[in-house]
Chains A and B, each alone.
Chain A
C-alpha cells in the first residue's frame, strides 16, 4: 500500500537549468498539493490540483514555476531557470475527494524532493 511517492528525492541543478519534480498520489486520492519548505521556515502552500485542473495556484511564484496533474501519470512541478533561492524541500501531498472518508486537514505527504541549486 504505497504512500505518496515523490522523485527524485534529491536533485542538484546549476543556476539557469530546469528542475522537474514528480509526485504520484496515494491510491484512490485524486487531489494533489505542492508545498515548499525553505531552510528554517515552515511549509508554504504552492498549488492544489485535481486531474487536468489547477484548483488553486495562489501560492505559486508568478514566473518560472508551473504545475500539472495530467489525466495519466504523476503530477509534475516544473521550475524553469532555477536560482539559488529555489533551493528547498518540495513536498507533495494528496487527499481523497471530500466526503470519501476524508478527515479535514489531513494531508498525506510524500518524503519530499530536496532541490539544491549551485
Chain B
C-alpha cells in the first residue's frame, strides 16, 4: 500500500465550478500535512499547510481528519489558472524539522472555459 494515496484523475471541470480532492495516508504517526501544486513539467510549489482545524486561503480550503487519516482540498470558483497537478504531502514521524516529505502521486485538475 502506498504511504500517500490520491486519485490521479484527471478531474475536468468548467470554470466557476467547485472541486474537491481527497488523499489518504497510511502512517498514523505522520506529523505534518501539506498540499503542493505542480504545473506541467515544472517544479512543485507549496500551496498550503493542512491542519485539523482547517485552513482557508482565498478560494482554497484544506482539511485534515487524523482519525480517518484523510486530507482534503476544496477549490471554489475554479479558474483556468488552477489547472495543475495537486500533490498531497505528509512528513513522516520525527521528520517535521527536516525536508523529508512523502508525496502522493498527485491529482490532475483541468479547468475548461
Contact = CB atoms under 8 A, between A and B. Distances in A.
A33 interface: yes
B104 A104 contact: no
Interface stretch (B10-18, B41-49, B52-60, B62-70): B41-49
Contacts of A112: 43
B98 A42 contact: no
A45 B12 CA distance: 30
A77 interface: no
A109 B98 contact: no
Contacts of B45: 109
28 contacts: A4-B43, A33-B99, A35-B103, A42-B4, A42-B87, A42-B103, A42-B105, A42-B106, A43-B101, A43-B103, A45-B100, A45-B101, A45-B102, A48-B99, A55-B98, A56-B100, A59-B100, A91-B43, A103-B46, A103-B49, A104-B32, A104-B91, A104-B97, A105-B33, A105-B34, A106-B34, A109-B43, A111-B43
Interface in B21-46: 32-34, 42-46
B103 A104 contact: no
A95 B46 CA distance: 12
Pick from A58, A106, A107 the residue with the most CB of B within 10 Å: A107
A76 B56 CA distance: 38
Nearest to B89: A105
Given A105-B91, A110-B43, A42 B104 contact: yes
Interface in A16-65: 31, 33, 35, 40-45, 48, 55-56, 58-59
Interface residues of B, number: 24
B96 interface: yes
Interface residues on A, range: 20 to 34
5 smallest beta-carbon distances between A and B, as pairs: A109-B43, A42-B103, A43-B103, A33-B99, A42-B105
B98 A56 contact: yes
